[in-house]
Amino acid sequence: MKPFLESAARGGVLFDGAMGTVLYERGVFLTHCFEAVNLSQPELVRQIHQEYLQAGAQVLTTNTFGANRLKLDRHGLADKVHEINVAGVKLALEVAAGRAWVAGSVGPTGLSLEALAGPEGVTAREALEEHVRVLAEAGVDIVCLETFTVLQELEIAIRIAREVTGLPIVAQYTFQENGLGLAGHTPQLVARRLVEAGAHVVGANCGGGPDLLFRVTSAMVEAGAPVLAQANAGRPESVDGRTIYVANPEYFGVFARRLLKAGVKLVGGCCGTNPGHVKRMVNAVRMLSVESGGSPSPRFGGGAPALEGQPIPLAERSDFAARLAAGDFVTSVELNPPSGLDLAKQVAAANELRDAGVTTINIADGPRASLRMGNLAMAVSVQQATGLSPLLHVCCRDRNFLGLQSHLLGAHVLGLRNLVVITGDPPKMGPYPHATGVYDVDSIGLLNIINGYNHGIDPSGKPMPEKTAFVCATGAEPAALDYDRELRRLEMKRDAGAVVVMTQPVYDPLKAERFLDDAQGLGLPIMLGLCPLASHRNAVFLHENVPGMQVPGYILDRMKQADAQGRGQEEGVAIAREALEAVRDRIQGAYVMPPFGRYRVAMQVLEGYVPARRAPPGDGAPESGGLPRAAAENAP
């Protein structure tokens, strides 16, 4: 495995979840010392570690959180400090067996700030030093200081760990429900102080569910150190007299991706979580790992082969490409494949969009990681029925390195030239919770492969019998929380062969203008993404649950007022048209994602931005080689 700090800096590292919660669920009473289970029931602790490893955890945390002398003394076990900690480390190391890092868990002494400042503070320091030293000598890979509510005690623990060991130090603070520390400290201040004290990784755990941890840890990113977020499974609530945590594993999978997209590098679970929660976070972590080149397991890099010669000119690859090359304003509407076998509705919608003057349609690849007909079949049917040249989404999630290449070559033979290359959302929804995200390459790696094809070179560097004529679009998130990373990746995508950018929807005009200013130097045409809001509820859902989409408060207010008047969808169309009009002179196209498949709503958004329909030449059938007829014949 790579060094922990190297992987932490790149991002996409997955910690395990709770130990105490799972021990309690398996029969260990709350009055019992959980750390003493290392001695009394070692097979139980070993089994829990094994389940976390099988779920995909890359860091196993020892069952030693409260194994300092002061806390053990409350159970009459002060003389067992060394024995309990060594046993906890041994159990985790045996399970990890080089496949995961082992983090030695160190919790607070339980003393207040006032007590720490008095004579008891010396005893607390000695207890922390003993705890850290025993774990280090037992062979842990990382010192993990967690669930500290007194900032000064956490700073003391960091300095002790720096003094007695050269291991990486993870320091996690626990915030209150209001997002501040016990003494009113902000997340930014806490992060800075932890870095100044000597922590290598900072973060937060416990205290609340994913919502709270997202707020505090995304704010800690600006301190510059890698940030770890370990949320509870929500806050405990009483349901029918039973105390439960309400954030289920699926919820954790969604929020893991939000955290990682916000710049948080490491994620895991805390109270109330179990191997099921960790398993749902695996695909989000794997996606970021391959994007960052930081997965501990070997992955295909998908790097660029050495290229020689020139690809087929852009204008000759497809009618969509010809329009781009000519500087025409292009429009695309997203239609999703059906969940069944009948394409009649999709083909009829494509015909209606074509007749309205829309340049093309784009077809998602397993949208929302759900089971649908393959978009390749739909794209061929639409192309044959309408004469349009569809944009085919190609997602890195569902096919391995060889499967992606076979899929692409097959698409080319069938006359499909226009591709939207995306890494893809991790599987998280629907009735197939155990579907695995593959991610042998990310979108940049796949763009490099396709660029090689267009030059007649395969990924191994060998010449191909013919060059391909693919046209590659790529995505961008103008409202990305880690905005600098988004711009860096966009530049890499351009260098890997992307010829047009299709943005995520932007509802804040200032963010749209900022992105267009910063992307201007890339020299790529930009198609503005538009998702007309259907209702206030729809707007709130997008704002709170979809990474990269932020809906400003005044837009939410507009939608709420419009809903009250029974005109929510109409207002959503108006907002989308305003966004398009505001930047019309700075973009080369619009990409509409109609809510709930309501394609006629997209036609309303684009009214006045598309040319009147012109009859296609001849019968509109593809010319030889499967390409639709030249764009010039249908150009506006």
Q: Parallel, antiparallel, or unpaired for β 266-269 and 242-245?
A: unpaired
Please report, as a single letter, which amino acid is at residue 382.
Answer: V
So what's the pLDDT on residue 467?
96
So what's the pLDDT on residue 434?
67
Residue 291 in this model has a pLDDT that exceeds 80: no
Q: What is the mean pLDDT of residues 174-191?
A: 95
Residue 618 in this model has a pLDDT that exceeds 50: no
So what's the pLDDT on residue 325?
96
Residue 297 in this model has a pLDDT that exceeds 50: no
Long-range contacts of 247-251 (CB under 8 A, 24+ apart): 247/209, 247/210, 247/272, 249/276, 249/277, 249/279, 249/280, 249/433, 250/280, 250/428, 250/429, 250/433, 251/210
Higher pLDDT, 617 or 493: 493
pTM: 0.66
Contact by Cβ (8 Å): 332, 358: yes
- Please report the domains of the chain, with CATH numbers, ordered by start residue: 4-292 (3.20.20.330), 329-532+583-626 (3.20.20.220)
Each residue's pLDDT tens digit, 151-175: 999 999 999 999 999 999 999 999 9
So what's the pLDDT on residue 544?
81
Please report, as a single letter, which amino acid is at residue 174.
Answer: T
Each residue's pLDDT tens digit, 7-56: 999 888 999 999 998 999 999 988 899 999 999 999 999 999 999 999 99
| Percent of all residues in the chain with a pLDDT value above 70, rounded to a whole number | 88
Task: Determine what percent of the chain falls in helix, strand and coil, rounding each to the nearest 5.
Answer: 45, 15, 40
Residue 93 in this model has a pLDDT that exceeds 90: yes
Tokens encoding 281:
């976070």
So what's the pLDDT on residue 627?
28
Higher pLDDT, 254 or 136: 136
Each residue's pLDDT tens digit, 200-246: 999 999 988 888 999 999 999 999 999 999 999 866 554 444 444 55
Residue 92 in this model has a pLDDT that exceeds 70: yes
